[in-house]
């Protein structure tokens, strides 16, 4: 599969005129480049740009350098990350920052193999960092990039070996010395023009050579994600001081290591009489839809693995999922 040699020049020209003003896009010689790129790439894993921007700005205001970030502890970074979700990213970011200072003299390794040894860094992030920091001719293959190439060739993504496609067309894709710009331009183009639904074909700089646009049998791109529905009972110990008892000993894998009330999958077993029903509500985490029955009990005695937390004022990390429970429990007072 061969690509048109003008593809990269056209996308770069579009990018120069239409790119978004994002806070992590600093000049190539900026001393902030590594820190800003590292921080943004970790945050952008599984999270949209518009959601990331305020968190990114909060981080760089609090910690202006990689060195500053590396000196905080896990509880501090989790508190800063609070609400962004997928908290393992925060732990990996902190571990990577500490490792870069200790082992690599505050620099990013310059090979894909070494970058992938950093905590939480897989193929995509490694390729992105290698290209963005060192201007290497590599492409971070995400959903946006796959969609651009799939539409351009009018082939289903499952039928394309993207690594092979890029390797075969490397000389055509990297014909300038703007490799880092091209990496971003390709992702930006997929996000703003070659969108999953309702692509802006009339504004597309590739429409003269795009097979998808010309074909009478266009491939289907947009796939609705299947959401899994899970049913849970949540049991909240509360007291008159507006406190709720939370524990980290829960069997819920996607909320492991966080402070939560007791959660149990709904079964046909009857609920003990001393637990009072408060509310049924819906919540969602990633591709999971949760159907929740919330129960409560006023009590001053709690199991050993629990600790009391004030519902209104907490310095501890409280994930968004738990905060929504807090809001429901507040109606009791």
User: Would you list the domain boundaries of the chain?
Assistant: 7-214, 228-332
**Which of 316, 277, 311 is CA-nearest to residue 294?**
277
Mean of all residue pLDDT scores within the chain: 91
Topology at the third CATH level for domain 228-332: Nucleoside Triphosphate Pyrophosphohydrolase (3.90.79)
Given a cut of 80, whether residue 262 has pLDDT beyond it is yes
Confidence (pTM) = 0.81
Closest CA to 43 of 73, 88, 74, 75: 88
Give 263's Cβ-side CA count (13 Å radius).
23
- pLDDT more than 70, % of the chain: 95
Tokens coding 182: 């091209």
Could you give the maximum distance between any two Cα atoms of the chain, in Å? 72
167, 166, 169, 149: which is closest to 158 by C-alpha? 149
Q: Tell me how far apart the alpha carbons of residues 145 and 177 are, in angstroms, rounded to a whole number.
A: 20
Active site residues: 41
Q: 214-218, 223-227, 312-316: lowest mean pLDDT where? A: 223-227
Burial status of residue 43 (CB atoms within 10 A of its CB: 0-12, 13-18, 19 or more): buried
Return the axis-axis angle of helices 33-43 and 49-62, rounded to nearest 10°. 140
Helix (H, G, I), strand (E, B) or coil at 58: helix
Helix (H, G, I), strand (E, B) or coil at 68: helix
Question: For the segment 76-131, what is each residue's pLDDT rounded down to a tens digit?
Answer: 999 899 888 888 999 999 999 999 999 999 999 999 999 999 999 999 999 999 99
Topology of domain 7-214, per CATH? Endonuclease III; domain 1 (1.10.340)
Least confident among 11-15, 70-74, 79-83: 79-83
């Amino acid at each position: 599969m061969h690509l048109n040699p003008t593809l990269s020049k056209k996308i770069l020209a579009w990018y120069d005129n239409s790119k978004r003003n994002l806070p992590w896009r600093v000049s190539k010689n900026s001393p902030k480049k590594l820190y800003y790129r590292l921080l943004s790439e970790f945050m952008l894993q599984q999270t949209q740009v518009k959601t990331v921007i305020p968190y990114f700005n909060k981080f760089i205001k609090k910690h202006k350098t990689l060195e500053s970030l590396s000196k905080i502890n896990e509880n501090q970074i989790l508190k800063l990350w609070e609400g962004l979700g997928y908290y393992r990213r925060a732990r990996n970011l902190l571990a990577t920052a500490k490792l870069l200072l200790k082992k690599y003299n505050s620099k990013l390794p310059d090979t894909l193999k070494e970058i992938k040894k950093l905590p939480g860094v897989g193929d995509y992030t490694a390729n992105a960092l290698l290209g963005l920091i060192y201007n290497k001719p590599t492409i971070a293959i995400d959903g946006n990039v796959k969609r651009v190439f799939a539409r351009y060739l009018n082939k289903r993504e499952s039928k394309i070996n993207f690594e092979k496609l890029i390797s075969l067309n490397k000389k055509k894709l990297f014909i300038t010395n703007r490799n880092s710009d091209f990496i971003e331009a390709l992702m930006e183009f997929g996000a703003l023009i070659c969108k999953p639904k309702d692509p802006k074909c009339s504004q597309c700089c590739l429409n003269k050579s795009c097979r998808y646009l010309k074909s009478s049998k266009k491939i289907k791109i947009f796939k609705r994600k299947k959401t899994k529905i899970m049913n849970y009972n949540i049991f909240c110990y509360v007291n008159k001081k507006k406190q709720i008892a939370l524990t980290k000993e829960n069997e819920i894998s996607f909320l492991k290591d966080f402070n939560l009330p007791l959660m149990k999958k709904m079964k046909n077993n009857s609920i003990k009489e001393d637990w009072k029903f408060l509310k049924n509500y819906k919540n969602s985490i990633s591709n999971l839809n949760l159907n929740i029955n919330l129960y409560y009990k006023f009590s001053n005695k709690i199991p050993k693995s629990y600790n009391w937390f004030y519902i209104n004022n907490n310095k501890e990390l409280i994930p968004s999922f738990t905060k929504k429970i807090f809001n429901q429990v507040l109606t009791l007072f």
